Amino acid sequence: MSEQKHLDVSSLVSKKGEFVRNDAAFRNHIEKDGEFPPENGRYHLYVSYACPWAHRTLITRKLKGLEDAISFTVVDFLMLDNGWRFNEKTPGCERDPIFDAQFMRDIYKTTAPEYTGRITVPVLFDKTAKKIVNNESSEIIRMLNCSMNEFSATDQQRALDFYPVELREEIDAINAWVYPNINNGVYRCGFAQSQEAYDKAVQDLFENLEKAEELLSKQRYLVGNRLTEADIRLFTTLIRFDQVYHGHFKCNKKRIIDYPNIWGYLRELYQIPAFRETTDMNHIRKHYMMSHRNINPYGIVSVGPDLDFNAPHDRNEKFPIS
């Protein structure tokens, strides 16, 4: 198919050496009476277990009981010159079941032959129309939260709402500082190409981790005592932090285990099956350390640290939910 060269992160660095993430290009939605109506089995997710943005969608899909309604394919953790690829020889991955494509760029070309932007995951794909619906993770998780409720496996999962109307203002306010300073903040540190850019990014990152620590010292979750999308979005960065970002991205002022409230909160979330069963640390560690050759030229994967995410936590005792 396409011979388009993969655009690496250097294409997202400003003249000041700052990493500046582009907006996603495909922004349609699943909605009744729309181009992409809710239908059982119609939609497919292309994801990477390594990618924190894709990880959000897998967690939400599982929490909402949509495993039978929305299929998914995992790309190889190793991303080099040709970008994300399909490789059934890698444990946890498989061939592309729709087009038998070699690379994710080929999936993009089926929808937009003239597209020249970055090839990213997750991708929500319409198997009937053979079109990309959306490649913005924050919008995909909201679709999975409410647009496919009739296909949830149980009434309990159908009733779950991670972006409830009465909490949306608070959730949006949390996302407004977590995303730029923590979710994207680790990338701003790791891909900075000037000392000035790095210094600003790392200061923002740790100031906002302290903010999260203070918040979680007073309440169980980011928005009171209710699990919301804000927690899903923060989890996928926290679970990668000590294992990857601390060393690989030079986010080494402190570790997550040095924040007692965040560390307990992280363990609680991990011990929920939808979070734990979608976390593949082998894919995560190998992707960053083997793919980012501008940071780690020899692709050597470090051995540690050893962390016990299944260790007991005290979140329920500190903040019981009646």
Residue 7 has pLDDT above 80, yes or no: no
Please confirm, yes or no, whether 298 is among the known catalytic residues. Answer: no
Name the catalytic one among 108, 187, 245, 259.
187
- Mean pLDDT of all residues in the chain? 95
CATH of 165-274, one of 3.90.1150.10, 3.40.605.10, 3.40.50.2300, 1.20.1050.10: 1.20.1050.10
Name the catalytic one among 46, 51, 198, 245.
51
In this prediction, residue 22 carries a pLDDT of: 74
95-127 as b/e, with b when 16 or more CB fall inside 10 Å? ebeeeebebbbbbbbbbeeebebbbbbbbbbbe
pLDDT over 90, % of the chain: 89
147 vs 114 pLDDT, higher one: 147
pLDDT in tens, 224-234: 999 999 999 99
Give the mean model confidence (pLDDT) for residues 69-94.
Answer: 97
Ranges in the chain annotated CATH 1.20.1050.10: 165-274
Ranges in the chain annotated CATH 3.40.30.10: 9-159
Q: Which residues are annotated as a binding site?
A: 84, 118-121, 136-137
Topology of the domain comprising 9-159: Glutaredoxin (3.40.30)
What is the reported pTM? 0.95
Residue 122 has pLDDT above 50, yes or no: yes
Q: Which residues are annotated as a binding site for glutathione?
A: 84, 118-121, 136-137
Please confirm, yes or no, whether 187 is among the known catalytic residues. Answer: yes
